[in-house]
Structure 1
């Protein structure tokens, strides 16, 4: 029986992957516009940091949701996953640079002191460290050279996102409902991935033992 094409997937094929970079730049351009126009708020430094951090979190979680979305609904965004991940990494870097340059003024001693005073910053830094090799290897050459190891390496995205969520939640004296929501979404996506991975291993035929 011939499979009926998903009309959403048919429409998505019209959009090239590079378009993700264009759309992904819009939140950053919005922050720039608000800053230049004076509409960023009464505490511009904190607002810039927070907005870039939120954008990073949204794109990271969005990237995690691509596979479950395909398996649960049939909507296939896999061809855009690499671009979404790189956009997310760019926002993580921008978030860190906004803290280091705008907030700390590149005063390394002050930055180290801030890390000590606000331990949640260490979780954000650890997330950036884990995401860096993923961004560096998100290219066809690395995929071919690394083979199966590439997929194993990219499992680091899950602890990286969890660290990012903890970094986000720890800032609050009282965690808002939105914070618990994003934590729940992240844990649910990780749980689904682990469950599907476990089922795949159970269903895989055992390799014959050579005598």
Structure 2
């Protein structure tokens, strides 16, 4: 990032208004979808479209949460880390909305039908798996849970967010049927985010190894 832009970005992201602005922006997709539902803008199958939109936004926010650390690495703007938890919780919120719309509105709380779908339709099985992982991460996202679990165990648990991301992309790919570009784009984004993290980790290990060699040489 250009020298002049980094301090400006850090200042903007550290502002007391930054978090409320991100919070409001994260709610905008839900508000827009409700507006479309009320005005007939969700098409001939509004329930199915509502389920689809909430699922897509869950996946988008999940990938955005996973992008925070790579963006911080690439740009050097550490203030981005302030928003990781909030964005991750919004991923869970939209996933919960996705599941609730499917169970409550599409299936009318017919639990037998829901269970049958989970067992018989692989894409729903995978999607429910992703939702369970996100639920566990949301339940342990507080500072109190970090203290109870301990830093190491908490970090190990929260690395499963990558499993949720992969499962979410796979769920979407299986849902649309066939080799369509949209789910492949999401897979590509997830892969790029993982590559940045792997490269950073490899660079850190190499630096530690070089430091160790230098100490032995001395």
TM over 0.5: yes
What is the RMSD computed on CA atoms of the aligned residues? 1.9
- Work out the CA distance in 2 between the residues paired with 1:178 and 1:75: 30
Residue aligning to 1:209:
none
In the alignment, what sits opposite 1:148? 152
2:12–2:18 CA contact under 8 A, matched in 1? no
Match of 1:94 in 2: 97
Counterpart-to-counterpart distance in 2, 1:41 and 1:78: 38
The reply on whether 1:167 has 2:171 as its aligned counterpart is: yes
Distance 1:24 1:142 in 2: 24
1:183 corresponds in structure 2 to 187
4+ runs deviating over 6 angstroms: none
Asked if 1:55 is matched to 2:57, the reply is yes
C-alpha deviation, 1:132, in angstroms: 1.4
Instruction: Tell me if the contact between 2:118 and 2:128 (Cα under 8 Å) persists in the aligned partners.
Output: no
**In structure 2, distance between residues paired with 1:199 and 1:54:** 34
Instruction: Name the stretch that deviates more: 28-37 or 137-146.
Output: 137-146
Q: Which shows bigger deviation, 189-198 or 58-67?
A: 189-198
Where structure 2 has 5 or more consecutive residues not aligned to the other structure, the ranges are 213-218
2:108 pairs with 1:83: no
Q: Distance in 1 between matches of 2:23 and 2:12?
A: 19
CA distance in 2 between counterparts of 1:175 and 1:99 reads: 25
Q: CA deviation at 1:202?
A: 4.4
The structure richer in helix per residue is 2
**Normalization by structure 2: what TM-score?**
0.86
1:18 Cα offset (Å) = 4.2
Question: Paired residue for 2:72?
Answer: 70
Q: CA deviation at 1:199?
A: 3.5
1:116 is aligned to 119
Structure 2 CA distance for aligned equivalents of residues 184 and 59 of structure 1: 15
By how many angstroms is 1:58 displaced? Answer: 0.7
Deviations 1:52-100 (A, max 9, x none): 0111111000111111111112344110110000011100111011111
Q: Report the CA distance between 1:180 and its aligned residue.
A: 1.0
Distance 1:129 1:66 in 2: 22
Aligned-pair distance for 1:148? 2.2
**TM-score normalised per structure 1:** 0.89
- 1:26 is aligned to 28
